[in-house]
């Protein structure tokens, strides 16, 4: 309910632009251009879907964790991913969409999630590698989003980033522990890193020259860095971490460039990436089937809770 009138229409767009120009945040009930709202819904909803689907690759290792300590850590991590999904659905809902509808769009395959979760987790070392590289790449993406122009999204990102740091560190520590183990364990770590390095680089999306709408997102303050800038940052961060761990990164072109002050590196296989986005990655069908089943299996719980709430209301009325 609103107690006062909204200002005249001609002031609305100017007011929005001025707020962005002052680097202030747009809040849910502010007027905003339809393109801004739609871009945000797509980005936040699919970010939320990624968190929810992201529970699957690691979740399957919970019952196979090698110790109670690792099991407790992994449980907490996977629970966090669910929490991140909920923070993000909550932010998306402030834009006038409903969580149930977004879930339906995910299950119908109309909205996407990050392709990284379409790769299988073949060994326990993958739990560590996902924490180190996949969550490390996610941190590169998400830290700038804490300053994104849409208030609820930025606030959700601040919470997510605080928790993501635990995810990355537990992964790196897991790998470091294995590297201090047997030759076989070290080989498991290297094999895992070899499989995840290129998909991790793909997480930043196609190169800037193939991203024509980046400029609009940056003008609106939704996006703060280009795909290539973030990818470079991630590579520069990861190289010394790999050295400290004692693993090699599977890129023959990877070397320090003194002139640029950055590492040069090779390009991932973008055809493989696009196949994943289209739904043809190694585990797409499995991930979607699992998500659909979880939603359908949960239907009776939702119905029962609704019926119980109605009954309680009737009793107290």
Partner 1 sequence: MSELSAEGGHGAVPLKDVPTGEGVTPPEPEWPLYEVFVRGKRGLNHVHVGSLHAADDRMALLHARDVYTRRNEGVSIWVVRADAITASSPDEKDPMFAPSGDKVYRHPTFYDIPDNVPHM
Q: Which of residues 188-227 bind partner 1 (CB under 8 A)?
A: 202-206, 210-214, 217, 222-227
- Minimum distance from residue 298 beta carbon to partner 1 (Å): 11
Q: Is 247 exposed, middle or buried (0-12, 13-18, 19+ CB in 10 A)?
A: buried
Q: Does 77 bind partner 1 (CB under 8 A)?
A: no
- CA dist 140 and 164 (Å) reads 11
Q: Does 93 bind partner 1 (CB under 8 A)?
A: yes
Q: Does 83 bind partner 1 (CB under 8 A)?
A: yes
Q: Does 101 bind partner 1 (CB under 8 A)?
A: yes
Token pair for residue 176? 């470091």
Q: Does 280 bind partner 1 (CB under 8 A)?
A: no
User: Of all helices (H) and strands (E), which one includes residue 255?
Assistant: strand 255-257
Token pair for residue 113? 């999630």
Q: Does 235 bind partner 1 (CB under 8 A)?
A: no
User: Greatest CA span in the chain, whole angstroms?
Assistant: 75
- CA dist 141 and 128 (Å) reads 19
Q: Does 231 bind partner 1 (CB under 8 A)?
A: yes
Q: Does 277 bind partner 1 (CB under 8 A)?
A: yes
- Minimum distance from residue 190 beta carbon to partner 1 (Å): 23
If the CB atoms of residues 16 and 61 are measured against partner 1, the closer one turns out to be 16
Q: Does 306 bind partner 1 (CB under 8 A)?
A: yes
Q: Report the site for partner 1 in 126-145 (rule: CB under 8 A).
A: 134-135, 137-138, 141-142, 144-145
- CA dist 268 and 235 (Å) reads 12
If the CB atoms of residues 213 and 267 are measured against partner 1, the closer one turns out to be 213
Q: Does 261 bind partner 1 (CB under 8 A)?
A: no
Q: Does 239 bind partner 1 (CB under 8 A)?
A: no
Question: Can you say how many angstroms the Cα of residue 255 is from the centroid of all Cα atoms in its chain?
Answer: 28
User: Of all helices (H) and strands (E), which one includes residue 108?
Assistant: none
Q: Does 151 bind partner 1 (CB under 8 A)?
A: no
The residue range among 76-84, 120-128, 187-195, 285-293 that interacts with partner 1, by the rule CB under 8 A, is: 76-84
* Residue count, binding to partner 1 (CB under 8 A): 98
Task: Write down how long the chain is.
Answer: 317
Q: Does 97 bind partner 1 (CB under 8 A)?
A: yes
For residues 112 and 43, is the Cβ–Cβ distance under 8 A? no
Phi and psi for 247 in degrees, rounded to 5?
-115, 160
Phi and psi for 31 in degrees, rounded to 5?
-70, 140
If the CB atoms of residues 70 and 223 are measured against partner 1, the closer one turns out to be 223
């Amino acid at each position: 309910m609103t107690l006062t009138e909204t200002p005249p229409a001609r002031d609305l767009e100017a007011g929005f632009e001025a707020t962005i120009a002052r680097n202030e945040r747009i809040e849910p009930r502010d007027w905003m251009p339809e393109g801004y709202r739609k871009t945000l819904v797509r980005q936040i909803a699919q970010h939320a879907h990624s968190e929810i689907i992201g529970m699957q690759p690691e979740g399957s290792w919970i019952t196979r964790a090698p110790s109670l300590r690792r099991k407790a850590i992994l449980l907490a991590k996977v629970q966090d991913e669910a929490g991140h999904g909920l923070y993000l659905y909550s932010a998306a809902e402030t834009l006038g969409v409903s969580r149930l509808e977004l879930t339906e769009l995910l299950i119908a395959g109309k909205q996407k999630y990050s392709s990284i979760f379409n790769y299988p987790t073949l060994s326990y070392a993958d739990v560590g590698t996902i924490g180190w590289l996949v969550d490390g790449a996610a941190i590169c993406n998400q830290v700038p989003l804490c300053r994104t122009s849409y208030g609820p999204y930025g606030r959700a990102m601040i919470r997510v980033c605080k928790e993501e740091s635990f995810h990355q560190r537990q992964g790196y520590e897991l790998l470091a522990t294995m590297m201090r183990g047997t030759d076989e364990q070290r080989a498991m770590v290297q094999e895992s890193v070899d499989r995840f390095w290129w998909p991790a680089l793909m997480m930043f999306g196609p190169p800037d020259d193939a991203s024509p709408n980046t400029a609009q997102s940056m003008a609106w303050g939704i996006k703060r860095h280009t795909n290539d800038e973030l990818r470079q940052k991630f590579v520069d961060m990861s190289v010394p971490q790999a050295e400290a761990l004692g693993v090699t990164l599977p890129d023959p072109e990877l070397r320090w460039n003194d002139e640029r002050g950055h590492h040069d590196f090779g390009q991932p296989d973008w055809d493989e990436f696009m196949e994943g986005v289209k739904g043809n990655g190694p585990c797409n069908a499995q991930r979607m089937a699992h998500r659909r089943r979880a939603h359908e299996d949960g239907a009776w719980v939702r119905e029962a809770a609704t019926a119980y709430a109605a009954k309680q209301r009737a009793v107290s009325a």
